[in-house]
Amino acid sequence: MSSKENIKDLGLTKQREVVLQVIRDKDTHLTANEVFDKAKQLLPGISFATVYNSLRYLKETGLIGEISFGNGASRFDALTSRHDHAICTNCGKLVDMEIELPAEIVKLATKFSKFKLESIELTLRGLCPECSE
Ligand SMILES: [Zn+2]
Ligand SMILES: [Zn+2]
């Protein structure tokens, strides 16, 4: 994981702080519902609407990332720098891949699509180590 500011130094409201903490604590990519479940344990009484609004705020300020794969709920990501993901087709496990894509792939993709490149993401689908045993 890349360097992170201390949550306490960000000047966030308690609720936003808790939501950010939940996302950073987990080495996984939680959905809004999962974040809500964990946030409730840290701050009983927090509402789903507050969690949802906090997620929007944290995303807009660049403190978290949001990913969606077209189907299902989007997931929130503690890692905000460009990275790719591998998804297990059996258990749904989602892991970060901090790898540099070869310039050749980027060149081919832009040449083929004739798009002006803004971002490029790679999604690897397959069986995770536990499921492929
Ligand atoms: Zn798996
Ligand atoms: Zn990620």
**From the CA of 109, how far away is ligand 1's center (Å)?**
29
How many CB atoms neighbour CB 89 within 10 A? 11
**From the CA of 26, how far away is ligand 1's center (Å)?**
17
pLDDT bin (cut points 50, 70, 90) of residue 7 is confident
For the entire predicted model, the pTM comes to 0.81
Q: Rounded CA gap, 3 and 28, in Å?
A: 17
**From the CA of 85, how far away is ligand 1's center (Å)?**
14
**From the CA of 128, how far away is ligand 2's center (Å)?**
16
Largest CA distance in the chain: 52
Domain residue spans in the chain? 7-77, 84-126
pLDDT tens digits, 46-87? 999 999 999 999 999 999 999 987 777 899 999 998 999 999
pLDDT bin (cut points 50, 70, 90) of residue 114 is very high
**From the CA of 83, how far away is ligand 2's center (Å)?**
6
What region does 11 belong to: left with phi over 0, alpha with psi -120 to 50, or beta?
A: left
Ion ligand 2 neighbours (CB, 5 A) are 77, 79, 96
Which tokens sit at 37?
A: 């479940």
Q: Say whether 31 sits in a helix, a strand or coil.
A: strand
**From the CA of 125, how far away is ligand 1's center (Å)?**
10
For the chain, the average pLDDT equals 91
Is it true that domain 7-77 has CATH number 1.10.10.10?
yes
Q: Rounded CA gap, 68 and 31, in Å?
A: 10
| Answer CATH for 84-126 from 3.40.50.800, 3.30.360.10, 3.30.1490.190, 4.10.520.10 | 3.30.1490.190
